[in-house]
Amino acid sequence: MKQVSILGATGSIGDSTLKVIRNNRARYQVHSLVAHQSVEKMMQLCREFLPKYAVLENKAAAEQLRVQVKSAQLPITVLAGEAAIIELVTESEIDLVVAAIVGAKGFLSSLAAARAGKTILLANKETLVLGGALFMAEAKTHGATILPIDSEHNALFQSLPKCGNELSYEGVKRLILTASGGPFRGYDRDALKKVTLEDALKHPNWSMGAKVTIDSATLMNKGLELIEAHFLFEMPTEKLSVVVHPQSMIHSLVEYIDGSLISQMGAADMAIPIAHALAYPERTISGAQYLDLTKMQALTFEEPDLVTFPALRLAQESLEAGTPYLVALNAANEIFVEAFLAKKITFIEIADKVATVLDRVSASAHQLQTEDALLAYDQEIRQLATDLC
Protein backbone atom coordinates (compact mmCIF):
# COMPACT_ATOMS: atom_id res chain seq x y z
CA MET A 1 0.00 0.00 0.00
CA LYS A 2 1.44 3.36 -1.06
CA GLN A 3 1.71 6.17 1.50
CA VAL A 4 0.50 9.49 0.07
CA SER A 5 1.16 13.01 1.36
CA ILE A 6 -1.26 15.60 -0.04
CA LEU A 7 -0.09 19.22 -0.02
CA GLY A 8 -3.12 21.40 -0.67
CA ALA A 9 -5.54 18.80 0.66
CA THR A 10 -8.52 21.14 1.04
CA GLY A 11 -8.30 22.63 -2.47
CA SER A 12 -9.73 21.36 -5.74
CA ILE A 13 -6.73 19.13 -6.54
CA GLY A 14 -6.86 17.74 -3.02
CA ASP A 15 -10.56 16.99 -3.49
CA SER A 16 -9.88 15.13 -6.74
CA THR A 17 -6.95 13.20 -5.24
CA LEU A 18 -9.06 12.05 -2.31
CA LYS A 19 -11.83 11.09 -4.74
CA VAL A 20 -9.41 8.70 -6.44
CA ILE A 21 -8.17 7.34 -3.12
CA ARG A 22 -11.75 6.64 -2.00
CA ASN A 23 -12.10 4.42 -5.06
CA ASN A 24 -8.81 2.65 -4.30
CA ARG A 25 -8.66 2.18 -0.53
CA ALA A 26 -6.66 -1.04 -0.84
CA ARG A 27 -3.89 0.68 -2.84
CA TYR A 28 -3.35 3.99 -1.04
CA GLN A 29 -3.06 5.21 2.53
CA VAL A 30 -3.22 8.93 3.30
CA HIS A 31 -0.04 9.55 5.28
CA SER A 32 -0.47 13.29 5.72
CA LEU A 33 -2.78 16.15 4.84
CA VAL A 34 -1.49 19.70 4.41
CA ALA A 35 -3.52 22.89 3.97
CA HIS A 36 -3.40 26.61 4.70
CA GLN A 37 -6.01 27.32 7.36
CA SER A 38 -9.28 25.47 6.71
CA VAL A 39 -9.90 23.92 10.13
CA GLU A 40 -13.42 22.65 9.49
CA LYS A 41 -12.64 20.87 6.22
CA MET A 42 -9.35 19.50 7.54
CA MET A 43 -11.16 18.05 10.54
CA GLN A 44 -13.66 16.34 8.24
CA LEU A 45 -10.80 14.81 6.25
CA CYS A 46 -9.01 13.74 9.42
CA ARG A 47 -12.09 11.84 10.56
CA GLU A 48 -12.47 10.13 7.20
CA PHE A 49 -8.87 9.28 6.31
CA LEU A 50 -7.08 9.17 9.70
CA PRO A 51 -3.73 10.46 8.42
CA LYS A 52 -0.63 10.16 10.56
CA TYR A 53 -0.07 13.92 10.27
CA ALA A 54 -2.30 16.93 9.65
CA VAL A 55 -0.53 20.22 8.97
CA LEU A 56 -1.91 23.74 8.67
CA GLU A 57 0.40 26.54 7.58
CA ASN A 58 -1.51 29.06 9.71
CA LYS A 59 -0.38 28.44 13.29
CA ALA A 60 -3.53 29.77 14.96
CA ALA A 61 -5.67 27.53 12.77
CA ALA A 62 -3.38 24.59 13.52
CA GLU A 63 -3.91 25.11 17.25
CA GLN A 64 -7.69 25.04 16.74
CA LEU A 65 -7.32 21.82 14.77
CA ARG A 66 -5.09 20.33 17.45
CA VAL A 67 -7.76 20.95 20.09
CA GLN A 68 -10.47 19.37 17.94
CA VAL A 69 -8.35 16.34 17.05
CA LYS A 70 -7.56 15.76 20.72
CA SER A 71 -11.21 16.17 21.71
CA ALA A 72 -12.22 13.61 19.08
CA GLN A 73 -9.47 11.27 20.33
CA LEU A 74 -8.05 10.83 16.84
CA PRO A 75 -4.54 9.30 16.61
CA ILE A 76 -3.21 12.19 14.51
CA THR A 77 -0.24 14.49 15.08
CA VAL A 78 -1.07 18.11 14.22
CA LEU A 79 1.79 20.32 13.02
CA ALA A 80 1.96 24.01 12.10
CA GLY A 81 3.90 26.30 9.78
CA GLU A 82 5.84 26.14 6.54
CA ALA A 83 8.93 24.64 8.18
CA ALA A 84 6.85 21.69 9.37
CA ILE A 85 5.54 21.15 5.83
CA ILE A 86 9.05 21.20 4.38
CA GLU A 87 10.30 18.72 6.98
CA LEU A 88 7.26 16.48 6.56
CA VAL A 89 7.74 15.83 2.83
CA THR A 90 11.17 14.33 3.49
CA GLU A 91 9.74 11.54 5.73
CA SER A 92 11.13 8.21 4.55
CA GLU A 93 7.80 6.37 4.73
CA ILE A 94 6.12 8.68 2.18
CA ASP A 95 5.94 7.14 -1.30
CA LEU A 96 4.03 9.85 -3.18
CA VAL A 97 3.85 13.61 -2.64
CA VAL A 98 0.94 15.43 -4.26
CA ALA A 99 2.25 19.00 -4.67
CA ALA A 100 -0.93 21.04 -5.03
CA ILE A 101 -0.39 24.12 -2.87
CA VAL A 102 -1.53 27.10 -4.95
CA GLY A 103 0.97 29.82 -5.81
CA ALA A 104 4.65 30.45 -5.12
CA LYS A 105 4.24 29.40 -1.48
CA GLY A 106 4.26 25.80 -2.72
CA PHE A 107 7.77 26.15 -4.16
CA LEU A 108 9.88 25.28 -1.11
CA SER A 109 7.90 22.18 -0.16
CA SER A 110 8.08 20.91 -3.75
CA LEU A 111 11.81 21.59 -3.81
CA ALA A 112 12.29 19.76 -0.49
CA ALA A 113 10.42 16.75 -1.86
CA ALA A 114 12.65 16.76 -4.95
CA ARG A 115 15.78 16.87 -2.80
CA ALA A 116 14.41 13.94 -0.79
CA GLY A 117 14.14 11.91 -4.00
CA LYS A 118 10.37 11.54 -3.79
CA THR A 119 7.89 10.70 -6.50
CA ILE A 120 6.10 14.03 -6.89
CA LEU A 121 2.67 14.39 -8.45
CA LEU A 122 3.09 17.99 -9.52
CA ALA A 123 0.13 20.34 -9.80
CA ASN A 124 1.78 23.47 -8.42
CA LYS A 125 2.73 25.17 -11.68
CA GLU A 126 4.41 28.08 -9.89
CA THR A 127 7.18 25.69 -8.77
CA LEU A 128 8.31 25.49 -12.39
CA VAL A 129 7.53 29.07 -13.38
CA LEU A 130 9.38 30.51 -10.38
CA GLY A 131 12.29 28.08 -10.24
CA GLY A 132 11.96 25.50 -13.00
CA ALA A 133 15.66 25.16 -13.82
CA LEU A 134 16.63 24.75 -10.15
CA PHE A 135 13.76 22.38 -9.35
CA MET A 136 14.34 20.06 -12.30
CA ALA A 137 18.10 20.02 -11.68
CA GLU A 138 17.58 19.08 -8.03
CA ALA A 139 15.07 16.40 -9.00
CA LYS A 140 17.59 14.88 -11.39
CA THR A 141 20.46 15.08 -8.90
CA HIS A 142 18.49 13.36 -6.14
CA GLY A 143 16.64 10.82 -8.26
CA ALA A 144 13.17 12.28 -7.78
CA THR A 145 10.40 11.32 -10.20
CA ILE A 146 8.15 14.12 -11.46
CA LEU A 147 4.71 13.06 -12.66
CA PRO A 148 2.58 15.97 -13.94
CA ILE A 149 -1.08 16.03 -12.90
CA ASP A 150 -2.17 19.20 -14.68
CA SER A 151 -4.49 17.76 -17.31
CA GLU A 152 -2.48 19.25 -20.19
CA HIS A 153 0.93 18.06 -19.03
CA ASN A 154 -0.37 14.66 -18.04
CA ALA A 155 -1.85 14.39 -21.54
CA LEU A 156 1.53 15.24 -23.06
CA PHE A 157 3.23 12.75 -20.73
CA GLN A 158 0.85 10.03 -21.94
CA SER A 159 1.26 10.99 -25.61
CA LEU A 160 5.05 11.19 -25.73
CA PRO A 161 7.03 8.04 -26.61
CA LYS A 162 8.70 6.06 -23.84
CA CYS A 163 12.15 4.52 -23.82
CA GLY A 164 12.11 2.15 -20.86
CA ASN A 165 10.96 4.26 -17.92
CA GLU A 166 12.12 7.50 -19.54
CA LEU A 167 10.37 9.82 -21.96
CA SER A 168 11.84 9.95 -25.43
CA TYR A 169 11.63 12.89 -27.81
CA GLU A 170 12.63 10.95 -30.91
CA GLY A 171 10.66 12.28 -33.86
CA VAL A 172 8.71 14.92 -31.89
CA LYS A 173 7.98 18.06 -33.93
CA ARG A 174 6.10 20.06 -31.28
CA LEU A 175 3.90 19.91 -28.19
CA ILE A 176 0.42 21.46 -28.49
CA LEU A 177 -1.39 22.51 -25.32
CA THR A 178 -5.14 22.97 -25.54
CA ALA A 179 -7.04 25.81 -23.86
CA SER A 180 -10.79 26.09 -23.39
CA GLY A 181 -10.62 29.82 -24.09
CA GLY A 182 -12.27 30.54 -20.75
CA PRO A 183 -15.64 32.22 -20.13
CA PHE A 184 -14.80 35.24 -22.30
CA ARG A 185 -13.76 33.52 -25.52
CA GLY A 186 -14.93 35.70 -28.41
CA TYR A 187 -14.98 38.92 -26.37
CA ASP A 188 -13.09 42.01 -27.52
CA ARG A 189 -11.21 44.43 -25.26
CA ASP A 190 -14.21 46.73 -24.84
CA ALA A 191 -16.38 43.83 -23.70
CA LEU A 192 -13.71 42.71 -21.22
CA LYS A 193 -13.80 46.11 -19.54
CA LYS A 194 -17.34 45.34 -18.37
CA VAL A 195 -16.93 41.82 -16.98
CA THR A 196 -17.46 41.24 -13.27
CA LEU A 197 -15.72 39.02 -10.74
CA GLU A 198 -18.76 36.77 -10.74
CA ASP A 199 -18.54 36.44 -14.53
CA ALA A 200 -14.85 35.55 -14.38
CA LEU A 201 -15.39 32.83 -11.78
CA LYS A 202 -17.75 30.89 -14.06
CA HIS A 203 -15.49 28.57 -16.04
CA PRO A 204 -17.40 26.81 -18.84
CA ASN A 205 -15.87 23.35 -18.35
CA TRP A 206 -13.71 22.93 -15.25
CA SER A 207 -14.34 23.21 -11.51
CA MET A 208 -11.23 24.84 -10.00
CA GLY A 209 -10.09 27.16 -7.25
CA ALA A 210 -10.55 30.92 -7.60
CA LYS A 211 -6.96 31.77 -8.57
CA VAL A 212 -6.71 29.17 -11.32
CA THR A 213 -10.19 30.05 -12.59
CA ILE A 214 -9.21 33.72 -13.01
CA ASP A 215 -5.93 32.70 -14.66
CA SER A 216 -7.95 30.59 -17.09
CA ALA A 217 -10.17 33.55 -17.91
CA THR A 218 -7.16 35.79 -18.72
CA LEU A 219 -5.33 32.90 -20.49
CA MET A 220 -2.44 33.40 -18.07
CA ASN A 221 -3.04 29.84 -16.91
CA LYS A 222 -2.18 28.59 -20.37
CA GLY A 223 0.89 30.80 -20.42
CA LEU A 224 2.06 29.34 -17.12
CA GLU A 225 1.40 25.85 -18.47
CA LEU A 226 3.49 26.62 -21.55
CA ILE A 227 6.37 27.52 -19.23
CA GLU A 228 5.77 24.33 -17.23
CA ALA A 229 5.96 22.25 -20.40
CA HIS A 230 9.28 23.83 -21.30
CA PHE A 231 10.87 22.70 -18.04
CA LEU A 232 9.05 19.39 -17.59
CA PHE A 233 9.80 18.09 -21.06
CA GLU A 234 13.01 20.04 -21.82
CA MET A 235 11.31 21.41 -24.91
CA PRO A 236 12.56 24.60 -26.61
CA THR A 237 10.06 27.43 -26.89
CA GLU A 238 9.78 27.12 -30.67
CA LYS A 239 8.40 23.59 -30.21
CA LEU A 240 5.61 24.69 -27.86
CA SER A 241 2.26 26.02 -29.02
CA VAL A 242 -1.29 26.61 -27.81
CA VAL A 243 -4.61 26.00 -29.55
CA VAL A 244 -8.06 26.92 -28.23
CA HIS A 245 -10.33 23.87 -27.95
CA PRO A 246 -13.61 25.01 -26.34
CA GLN A 247 -14.96 21.52 -25.60
CA SER A 248 -12.01 20.55 -23.32
CA MET A 249 -12.14 16.92 -24.45
CA ILE A 250 -8.67 16.72 -25.97
CA HIS A 251 -6.28 17.80 -23.26
CA SER A 252 -3.09 18.21 -25.32
CA LEU A 253 -1.38 16.77 -28.38
CA VAL A 254 2.06 15.70 -29.56
CA GLU A 255 2.86 16.31 -33.22
CA TYR A 256 5.49 14.09 -34.84
CA ILE A 257 7.73 14.77 -37.81
CA ASP A 258 5.86 12.18 -39.92
CA GLY A 259 2.61 14.16 -39.62
CA SER A 260 1.07 12.06 -36.85
CA LEU A 261 -0.81 13.73 -34.00
CA ILE A 262 -1.20 11.73 -30.80
CA SER A 263 -3.51 13.13 -28.13
CA GLN A 264 -5.19 12.16 -24.87
CA MET A 265 -8.96 12.52 -24.53
CA GLY A 266 -11.17 12.32 -21.49
CA ALA A 267 -13.84 14.06 -19.47
CA ALA A 268 -12.96 17.41 -17.90
CA ASP A 269 -12.27 15.79 -14.54
CA MET A 270 -8.96 16.15 -12.69
CA ALA A 271 -9.44 12.69 -11.19
CA ILE A 272 -8.29 11.22 -14.52
CA PRO A 273 -4.74 12.64 -14.65
CA ILE A 274 -4.39 12.20 -10.89
CA ALA A 275 -5.38 8.52 -11.10
CA HIS A 276 -2.89 8.06 -13.94
CA ALA A 277 -0.06 9.52 -11.87
CA LEU A 278 -1.00 7.75 -8.63
CA ALA A 279 -0.93 4.36 -10.34
CA TYR A 280 1.85 5.00 -12.88
CA PRO A 281 3.04 2.97 -14.73
CA GLU A 282 -0.15 0.98 -14.09
CA ARG A 283 -3.77 2.16 -14.33
CA THR A 284 -6.51 2.42 -11.72
CA ILE A 285 -10.14 3.48 -11.32
CA SER A 286 -10.49 7.28 -11.20
CA GLY A 287 -14.20 7.59 -10.50
CA ALA A 288 -14.57 9.93 -13.49
CA GLN A 289 -17.31 9.64 -16.08
CA TYR A 290 -16.46 7.63 -19.19
CA LEU A 291 -16.84 9.31 -22.58
CA ASP A 292 -19.52 8.07 -24.95
CA LEU A 293 -18.06 8.93 -28.35
CA THR A 294 -21.44 8.52 -30.06
CA LYS A 295 -22.91 11.33 -27.95
CA MET A 296 -20.04 13.80 -28.18
CA GLN A 297 -20.49 17.18 -29.81
CA ALA A 298 -18.20 18.34 -32.60
CA LEU A 299 -14.62 19.10 -31.58
CA THR A 300 -13.38 22.51 -32.72
CA PHE A 301 -10.05 24.32 -32.62
CA GLU A 302 -8.95 27.92 -33.14
CA GLU A 303 -5.98 30.21 -32.63
CA PRO A 304 -5.79 32.08 -29.31
CA ASP A 305 -6.52 35.82 -29.46
CA LEU A 306 -3.28 37.34 -28.18
CA VAL A 307 -4.52 40.91 -28.65
CA THR A 308 -7.60 40.59 -26.48
CA PHE A 309 -5.84 38.23 -24.05
CA PRO A 310 -2.23 39.47 -23.84
CA ALA A 311 -1.38 37.35 -20.78
CA LEU A 312 -0.50 34.35 -22.94
CA ARG A 313 1.81 36.50 -25.07
CA LEU A 314 3.45 37.93 -21.93
CA ALA A 315 4.15 34.41 -20.70
CA GLN A 316 5.66 33.39 -24.03
CA GLU A 317 7.88 36.49 -24.07
CA SER A 318 8.93 35.95 -20.45
CA LEU A 319 9.97 32.37 -21.19
CA GLU A 320 12.17 33.59 -24.02
CA ALA A 321 13.60 36.42 -21.87
CA GLY A 322 14.73 34.25 -18.95
CA THR A 323 14.41 33.63 -15.22
CA PRO A 324 14.01 37.21 -13.89
CA TYR A 325 11.05 37.70 -16.21
CA LEU A 326 9.49 34.38 -15.22
CA VAL A 327 9.75 35.25 -11.52
CA ALA A 328 8.28 38.68 -12.20
CA LEU A 329 5.48 37.31 -14.37
CA ASN A 330 4.38 34.86 -11.70
CA ALA A 331 4.69 37.20 -8.72
CA ALA A 332 2.96 40.12 -10.41
CA ASN A 333 0.15 37.94 -11.69
CA GLU A 334 -0.51 36.49 -8.22
CA ILE A 335 -0.73 39.98 -6.71
CA PHE A 336 -3.03 41.34 -9.42
CA VAL A 337 -5.32 38.30 -9.36
CA GLU A 338 -5.64 38.75 -5.59
CA ALA A 339 -6.45 42.42 -6.19
CA PHE A 340 -9.12 41.50 -8.73
CA LEU A 341 -10.62 38.92 -6.37
CA ALA A 342 -10.77 41.68 -3.76
CA LYS A 343 -12.41 43.98 -6.35
CA LYS A 344 -9.54 46.50 -6.18
CA ILE A 345 -8.81 46.40 -9.92
CA THR A 346 -10.77 45.43 -13.03
CA PHE A 347 -10.39 42.20 -14.98
CA ILE A 348 -8.68 43.82 -17.94
CA GLU A 349 -6.15 45.49 -15.66
CA ILE A 350 -4.67 42.16 -14.52
CA ALA A 351 -2.65 41.52 -17.68
CA ASP A 352 -2.06 45.22 -18.34
CA LYS A 353 -0.48 45.69 -14.93
CA VAL A 354 1.60 42.52 -15.32
CA ALA A 355 2.97 44.06 -18.53
CA THR A 356 3.85 47.23 -16.62
CA VAL A 357 5.83 45.21 -14.07
CA LEU A 358 7.65 43.24 -16.77
CA ASP A 359 8.71 46.50 -18.42
CA ARG A 360 10.66 47.31 -15.25
CA VAL A 361 12.64 44.05 -15.15
CA SER A 362 16.31 44.02 -16.10
CA ALA A 363 17.53 40.61 -17.28
CA SER A 364 21.12 41.34 -16.26
CA ALA A 365 20.34 42.73 -12.81
CA HIS A 366 19.76 39.44 -11.01
CA GLN A 367 21.65 36.19 -10.56
CA LEU A 368 18.78 33.93 -9.58
CA GLN A 369 20.39 30.53 -9.11
CA THR A 370 19.35 29.62 -5.55
CA GLU A 371 16.00 29.41 -3.81
CA ASP A 372 16.97 32.31 -1.54
CA ALA A 373 17.75 34.55 -4.52
CA LEU A 374 14.58 33.49 -6.34
CA LEU A 375 12.35 34.13 -3.33
CA ALA A 376 14.02 37.45 -2.52
CA TYR A 377 13.38 38.68 -6.05
CA ASP A 378 9.86 37.27 -5.88
CA GLN A 379 9.21 39.44 -2.81
CA GLU A 380 10.74 42.48 -4.51
CA ILE A 381 8.35 42.09 -7.44
CA ARG A 382 5.38 41.50 -5.15
CA GLN A 383 6.04 44.81 -3.44
CA LEU A 384 6.32 46.58 -6.79
CA ALA A 385 3.05 45.03 -7.94
CA THR A 386 1.29 45.84 -4.67
CA ASP A 387 2.24 49.48 -5.12
CA LEU A 388 0.48 49.42 -8.52
CA CYS A 389 -2.84 48.15 -7.15
For the segment 293-302, what is each residue's pLDDT rounded down to a tens digit? 999 889 999 9
10 is in an annotated binding site: yes
285 is in an annotated binding site: no
List phi, psi (to 5°) of 355: -60, -40
The number of folded domains in the chain is: 2
CA–centroid distance for 83 within its chain: 21
347: containing domain: 158-266+291-387
263 is in an annotated binding site: no
Q: What does the pLDDT look like over 81-137, one tens digit per residue?
A: 999 999 999 999 999 999 999 888 899 999 999 999 999 999 998 899 999 999 999
Last residue of a domain, one of 148, 170, 186: 148
Alpha-carbon distance 137 to 3, whole Å?
A: 25
159 is in an annotated binding site: no
Here the CATH number for the domain that contains residue 344 is 1.10.1740.10
Residue 28's Cβ-side half-sphere holds a number of Cα atoms within 13 Å equal to 27
317 is in an annotated binding site: no
138 is in an annotated binding site: no
Do 218 and 111 lie in one domain? The reply is no
Do 199 and 304 lie in one domain? The reply is yes
203 is in an annotated binding site: yes
286 is in an annotated binding site: no
Last residue of a domain, one of 148, 166, 187: 148
Do 18 and 167 lie in one domain? The reply is no
Do 106 and 237 lie in one domain? The reply is no
The rounded mean pLDDT for the chain is 94
221 is in an annotated binding site: yes
125 is in an annotated binding site: yes
82 is in an annotated binding site: no
Do 195 and 312 lie in one domain? The reply is yes
93 is in an annotated binding site: no
216 is in an annotated binding site: yes
Do 181 and 36 lie in one domain? The reply is no
Alpha-carbon distance 250 to 264, whole Å?
A: 6
Alpha-carbon distance 164 to 130, whole Å?
A: 30
Q: What does the pLDDT look like over 207-220, one tens digit per residue?
A: 678 898 999 999 99
- pLDDT-derived band at 365 (thresholds 50, 70, 90) equals low
